[in-house]
Amino acid sequence: MQKKEGFTSKIGFVLAAAGSAVGLGNIWRFPYLTAKYGGGIFLLTYLVLVLTFGYALLVAENAIGRMTGKGPIGAFREFCAGKKSFLGSVRIGGWINSIVPMIIVPYYCVIGGWVTKYVFAMMCNPVARFSKDAVEKFAGTEMAASTAYFQNFVTSTWEPIGFFLLFMLINVIVAAFGVEKGVERFNKILMPILILLIIAICIYCGFLPNAGAGFRYYLMPDPAKFSYMTVVAAMGQLFFSLSIAMGIMITYGAYMRKEDDLVSSVNQIEIFDTGVAFLAGLMIIPCVVAFGGEKAAESAGVGLVFITMPQVFASFPGGQFVGVAFFILVLFAAATSAISLLETNVHTICQELKISRAKAIFLNVMEIIVIGAVTVLGYSVLSFVKPLKFIPKYSGMDILDTLDFISNSVLMPIGAIFTTVLVVAVIGIERISREIRGDKKWYREWVFQFCMCVIVVPCLLVVLLNATGLLG
């Protein structure tokens, strides 16, 4: 991407931003969190947060990027230049924002590897193997075959490492040869197909026996299931899925042209991203409940998509082909996100360490390999490692969960606090509002200002204190 060029059209900007926004976050992460944290109540919390917090931060980050034409570190530095003491130190916010994608990309590639594996799994196994009544052994215990298959895969040592490296290499090669444009073009065709497929599966799921209970679980909020953790998890998911609090949107904003309508672009990203996540939930959650009841939903973890979807594909004739297509499409959605994550990191490393692009790619790849491999082994030979053992409520978290938790529930809220302080105290809410509004009418300006000035910081502090275990 050439800095000066800018995005040639608004639709180009929206597609680029949506391409990076829609990924494993929508299809893998959102459904399992929703299932785990009580279904409807999580969905409701999430939607409320997207329309308030998420919106305000998405707008703010794009505006910061467009005002400075720089990435997060440069933008924070520019605004804080010449400011004294506290306001001057807000500039470290740029760094916090830039470190997050470096933590995310290794485990993103691990999950990308799982998706790659499942493309092959759907191709090479008779689909009946995954049917909901089939049982197989894992660690000597009989369980649903698709669960056992998943467990056997992730707890084996070499296979997940192989698929992780394969997924990572494909993405690194695409990034290194600068052929992202080709991938993006592909994506413009494949993403709508993925959405149509998801809708078709949703409709099919509606006819499963017991699907009603599943839809109820997903769509009817049950206040009794609400807890602090619902908010912590929904907030983390919001950051992850909208790619905010990690510098990405600042960078995208920097490529945007002055005459583009920032407000409507942000609206489109918000609607698109949330829409895809909602559909993914609508596809997966009714099936989990239909197959295993609410218990199965509540005990969902990172394997949900990989365990449930094959059962769905096993339940109708020709499901195998649909399964292969599904995982290939998800693979593409994951790859576009992984490539933009990688790009961002390479860009930051190049600029801040003043080294060549090739060296930056190399450094980044080394980082991904080391952290990613440790993450994969966290399910096998390193399964005794529980990094957050010392905090009782997180004592059971494995390495992947820990990386996910630290980036989404700790660092991103901190990054978002810095962004908010930058907007309110350093740039000034009026100045940034003027920049965003341009000469158009901006209906949600009050939401933006109210969130930025009043609610974001206190709420994030509560979330943080709670997440770190200091509050209950």
Using Cβ positions, the residue closest to ligand TRP within the complex turns out to be 25
Q: Using the 8-state DSSP alphabet, how is residue 26 labeled? A: I
Q: Given the rule CB under 6 A, which of 73-81, 114-122, 240-248, 428-436 is the region that contacts ligand TRP?
A: 240-248
Using CB under 6 A, pick the residue from 205, 245, 248, 424 that binds ligand TRP: 248
Cβ–Cβ under 8 Å, residues 17 and 271: no
Asked if 21 interacts with ligand TRP (CB under 6 A), we say yes
Shortest CA distance to 387 belongs to which of 369, 371, 372, 402? 402
Q: How far is the CB of 222 from ligand TRP (least distance, A)?
A: 26
In whole angstroms, what is the distance from residue 331 CA to residue 399 CA?
23
Q: How far is the CB of 102 from ligand TRP (least distance, A)?
A: 11
**Considering beta carbons, is residue 27 or 56 the nearer one to ligand TRP?**
27
The site string for ligand TRP over 92-131 (x = CB under 6 A, - otherwise) reads ---------x--x---------------------------
In whole angstroms, what is the distance from residue 172 CA to residue 166 CA?
10
**Considering beta carbons, is residue 17 or 423 the nearer one to ligand TRP?**
17
Provide the pairing of β-strand 141-144 with 135-138.
antiparallel
Asked if 246 interacts with ligand TRP (CB under 6 A), we say yes
**Considering beta carbons, is residue 344 or 364 the nearer one to ligand TRP?**
344
In whole angstroms, what is the distance from residue 325 CA to residue 149 CA?
20
Q: How far is the CB of 368 from ligand TRP (least distance, A)?
A: 14
Q: How far is the CB of 181 from ligand TRP (least distance, A)?
A: 16
Q: Which of residues 344-383 bind ligand TRP (CB under 6 A)?
A: 344
Q: Given the rule CB under 6 A, which of 20-28, 213-221, 222-230, 413-421 is the region that contacts ligand TRP?
A: 20-28
**Considering beta carbons, is residue 410 or 429 the nearer one to ligand TRP?**
410
Q: Given the rule CB under 6 A, which of 22-30, 77-85, 114-122, 166-174 is the region that contacts ligand TRP?
A: 22-30
Residue holding tokens 């770190």? 468
Q: Given the rule CB under 6 A, which of 1-9, 15-23, 151-159, 416-424 is the region that contacts ligand TRP?
A: 15-23
Q: How far is the CB of 163 from ligand TRP (least distance, A)?
A: 18
In whole angstroms, what is the distance from residue 155 CA to residue 10 CA?
45
Asked if 168 interacts with ligand TRP (CB under 6 A), we say no
In whole angstroms, what is the distance from residue 20 CA to residue 333 CA?
8
SS3 220: coil
Using CB under 6 A, pick the residue from 6, 23, 236, 372 that binds ligand TRP: 23
Shortest CA distance to 463 belongs to which of 450, 454, 472, 452? 472
Cβ–Cβ under 8 Å, residues 174 and 180: yes
Using CB under 6 A, pick the residue from 237, 241, 348, 408 that binds ligand TRP: 241
CB-facing half-sphere around the CA of 290: CA atoms within 13 A: 24
Chain centroid, CA 150 distance in Å: 21
In whole angstroms, what is the distance from residue 449 CA to residue 432 CA?
10
Cβ–Cβ under 8 Å, residues 393 and 451: no
Q: How far is the CB of 112 from ligand TRP (least distance, A)?
A: 10
Q: How far is the CB of 26 from ligand TRP (least distance, A)?
A: 5
For 292, residues 6+ apart whose C-beta sits below 8 A from its C-beta are 132, 144
For 357, residues 6+ apart whose C-beta sits below 8 A from its C-beta are 346, 350
* DSSP sequence for 293-314: HHHHHHT--TTHHHHHHHHHHT
Asked if 201 interacts with ligand TRP (CB under 6 A), we say no
Using CB under 6 A, pick the residue from 13, 16, 18, 26 that binds ligand TRP: 26
Shortest CA distance to 337 belongs to which of 171, 126, 144? 171
Residue holding tokens 């009050």? 446
Asked if 20 interacts with ligand TRP (CB under 6 A), we say yes
In whole angstroms, what is the distance from residue 312 CA to residue 288 CA?
9
Q: Which of residues 304-343 bind ligand TRP (CB under 6 A)?
A: 337, 340-341
Q: How far is the CB of 100 from ligand TRP (least distance, A)?
A: 7
Task: State the amino acid at position 74 in one-letter form.
Answer: G
Q: How far is the CB of 22 from ligand TRP (least distance, A)?
A: 6
For 273, residues 6+ apart whose C-beta sits below 8 A from its C-beta are 18, 21, 22, 26, 241, 242
Q: Which two tokens stand for residue 412?
A: 């991103």
Q: How far is the CB of 81 from ligand TRP (least distance, A)?
A: 27
**Considering beta carbons, is residue 26 or 98 the nearer one to ligand TRP?**
26
Q: How far is the CB of 343 from ligand TRP (least distance, A)?
A: 8
Q: How far is the CB of 188 from ligand TRP (least distance, A)?
A: 17
Q: Given the rule CB under 6 A, which of 86-94, 208-216, 242-250, 409-417 is the region that contacts ligand TRP?
A: 242-250
**Considering beta carbons, is residue 108 or 149 the nearer one to ligand TRP?**
108
CB-facing half-sphere around the CA of 56: CA atoms within 13 A: 25
Q: Which residues bind ligand TRP (CB under 6 A)?
A: 20-21, 23-26, 101, 104, 240-241, 243, 246, 248, 337, 340-341, 344
